[in-house]
Structure 1
């Protein structure tokens, strides 16, 4: 069967349809990268001057010198400035950023960021932060970030609200708990954000793609300063906000996909911090300890006790995050292959009746047991050339 040629798409048509969005994504990623790359040292100097430092006064600390913990300020500033420049530039895709679902998330993320910043400045207990996190998750629910169903079953309103709040609070605290070794939380967030960006492009969701692009650039630049030996930490203003935003992106991702992959992919992308948080809560519950009591039994602490250096611990955890991303890509490839096989054209099957045409029996074989001489029939009539 001859191969089906795809229609040729000119460069002008591509620029008119998809090229503008790709350029906008590249613009957001590059702008956010350079902004965060140059803002992070400035924020670190300001943190040293004001004394907002993470001092190694606890056994849970793995660093030996006071380190700034205001890296979330540089990431948040780069994210917002990049989106603002996109709106001013007039590139294609700015209308997608103006969608209410994207703009209305800013107040909820702002509440989480303010909570983390106050925690970095004054120090708050876990039970003091929980009510504010619930309020921020409720604001996100009002904005449209809602879990509409689980495993293909629609969730009623009385169940959708607590599920959404539980998911967002869990994601926010999971990133806060895993931020114990240089570069771990930033690297895991980078893998999860990049996975969400690729999934948004494949699903044709420009708003989600344009919202995740500046976060990818900012995290990539910040990893330069946060990897071991780190010169600045995310802080609670960074880890809480990044976990909360990624949780919102995961819900938006699942809203646009009715498949099981679309609903489980956010959990797979955030599997490392969520699994560590679930194990920590279950361990403290079984030991009859307070759930919010800090300890040194997280995955990065256990790897450090095994003799791994902080750099190797970060690489091992990031390898686990990349493994989750690989599983998502494989599942996506299998889904696309299954969809393509389901849509393949059905070949026509011609039935040639065993009868002599008018004018003779030249197609009948000499031996009646062999049936119709199809090869001779095809050669003389021309039928069946395009069918193998």
Structure 2
């Protein structure tokens, strides 16, 4: 409960602070002016990072008891954020910017004892200080700059950080690392509060203040996780946890050095820029980048107790695949789309035909319209009858309120009906996870249908045009929830599954209802009949 309150606090603070700072951005001179290497075409406030940093630090200090090490880490974050704010305001040269990063990293390494001492490449025990300290400083500087350089599209750096921090929180929970979990959860809340304004088309950027803070935090927490909190984890795991930003930064800097220019000179050679050049639109480029980062996170989870050598080999393999993708695409003259469809290759034409928007939209809509009501009614009817009395009374109360409202012709009957359908979804999912089914195979089929609906609704919403639209952040949140719900750590507490499965079904209901027309009666009837099935248990 404390973590939940912490999350809501940072979420609320970030939303309020960012909204207030947007209005002050012009007088403060914190506005991002477009240039040749940037994607946006108009001036955008870059104050989101300030709101995230303040929200995180205030919430942690007020609501959670942090030990000396984590207080030192917060001090390092403050130092870094001050230099980031100066950079956002005055466009500091890279030397001054690097100095601020170095001071912040040195504070946490020397005074916070955030040091990489344990790697399984060596059998001689902990790394000596002469190796451990420089290695840690190099890694933390790398993660700080990596996330800073990844901040090139709306929602990109924020989404990558969400995946990394969620992974850290999950792995820390395996060893009861409460302070690590709390810090990660607080930053997650701040990011989601900021994302409300940063999804495409963004009305605010996080600036260097935010991107450096996120990279620094992910790096520090990843080191603490593997070196202090859960020492059974592979010492090389932070490479996969931070993931794609490190790969992209190493690749871009290597290319700059090879061309004989400064590795710190900005350009348009980042992974997301290359995706745009291959015909991806903004939405698709962000989603594809999320997918690569999600792959890193899943690998980190499944390889968490493997040897450092295996983790490193897997990471280098992934590095090679990412590095080779664009050159291979160019070599075979492949693009996701072209200005004239006739110029596309035969394979691309067939792929685009399969992904034709109207066909996918219609099929997904009809499938969802029929599956959701049958699923609700079937699940409610197959529930185990034991311990259903209170739920049945609640369902009967919802139905009675709707019928009275309808019979009296009171205003807002449509809204009451909608709430009744939503209630049926939540009740059905709650009962599936707490009460269970009369038939042993029903639980398995329940999960299968939920996964099927998740895919169908995602496709339908993506291609539904004016009826309904999701941002890449919605897919990101859904991925994190689905992953969380299926982790072994939640086997005993099923609230994560309840939240995820309810969200999937509610998306499906909303997707159908927003389309309108004469066919939505099926979803409405399905929800009402599910409540009726549960309410009948009172009589029975």
CA 204–262 in structure 1, closer or farther in 2 if over 3 Å, else same: farther
8 Å contact kept, 2:172–2:178: yes
Shift of 1:149: 2.6
Shift of 1:330: 2.6
Shift of 1:251: 0.8
- Larger mean CA deviation between 44-53 and 300-309 belongs to 44-53
User: Is 1:52 matched up with 2:37?
Assistant: no
Aligned pairs for 1:277-316 within 5 A: 277-316=249-288
Shift of 1:122: 0.5
Aligned pairs for 1:318-337 within 5 A: 318-332=290-304
User: Is 1:141 matched up with 2:104?
Assistant: no
The counterpart of 1:39, out of the listed 1, 9, 17, is: 17
Aligned twin of 2:159 = 187
8 Å contact kept, 2:115–2:136: yes
CA 111–66 in structure 1, closer or farther in 2 if over 3 Å, else same: same
CA distance in 2 between counterparts of 1:51 and 1:267 reads 36
8 Å contact kept, 1:257–1:263: no
Aligned twin of 2:42 = 65
CA 333–291 in structure 1, closer or farther in 2 if over 3 Å, else same: closer
Aligned pairs for 1:141-160 within 5 A: 141-142=109-110, 143-151=112-120, 153=122, 154-160=126-132
CA distance in 2 between counterparts of 1:242 and 1:209 reads 15
Aligned twin of 2:230 = 257
CA 149–329 in structure 1, closer or farther in 2 if over 3 Å, else same: closer
Aligned twin of 2:6 = 28
CA distance in 2 between counterparts of 1:167 and 1:108 reads 15
CA 131–50 in structure 1, closer or farther in 2 if over 3 Å, else same: closer
Shift of 1:334: 8.7
Aligned pairs for 1:10-25 within 5 A: 23-25=1-3
8 Å contact kept, 2:10–2:55: yes
Aligned pairs for 1:1-388 within 5 A: 23-56=1-34, 58-87=35-64, 94=65, 97=66, 99-142=67-110, 143-151=112-120, 153=122, 154-255=126-227, 256-259=229-232, 261-332=233-304
**RMSD in angstroms over aligned alpha carbons?**
1.9
Shift of 1:333: 9.0
CA distance in 2 between counterparts of 1:134 and 1:297 reads 25
User: 1:289-338: CA deviations, max 9, x gaps?
Assistant: 2111111111011111112111211111111111112222333599999x
User: 1:114-152: CA deviations, max 9, x gaps?
Assistant: 110000010111122222222211111121111113235
CA 326–106 in structure 1, closer or farther in 2 if over 3 Å, else same: same
- Larger mean CA deviation between 125-134 and 287-296 belongs to 125-134
Gaps of 5+ in 1: 1-22, 88-93, 338-388
CA 308–83 in structure 1, closer or farther in 2 if over 3 Å, else same: same
TM-score (norm 2): 0.54
Number of matched pairs: 304
CA distance in 2 between counterparts of 1:152 and 1:301 reads 36
TM-score (norm 1): 0.75
| Structure (1/2) with the larger helix percentage | 2
CA distance in 2 between counterparts of 1:51 and 1:198 reads 39
Gaps of 5+ in 2: 308-486, 489-540
Aligned twin of 1:372 = none
8 Å contact kept, 1:152–1:258: no
8 Å contact kept, 1:253–1:262: no
CA 26–333 in structure 1, closer or farther in 2 if over 3 Å, else same: farther
SS at structure 2 position matched to 1:150: coil
CA distance in 2 between counterparts of 1:126 and 1:150 reads 32
CA distance in 2 between counterparts of 1:48 and 1:190 reads 29
8 Å contact kept, 1:172–1:244: yes
Shift of 1:212: 1.2
Aligned twin of 1:18 = none
Task: Report which of the two structures shows the higher radius of gyration computed on alpha carbons.
Answer: 1
CA distance in 2 between counterparts of 1:162 and 1:185 reads 26
User: 1:341-372: CA deviations, max 9, x gaps?
Assistant: xxxxxxxxxxxxxxxxxxxxxxxxxxxxxxxx
Shift of 1:197: 0.8
- Asked which structure has the greater RCO (Cα within 8 Å, sep 6+), the reply is 1
SS at structure 2 position matched to 1:242: helix
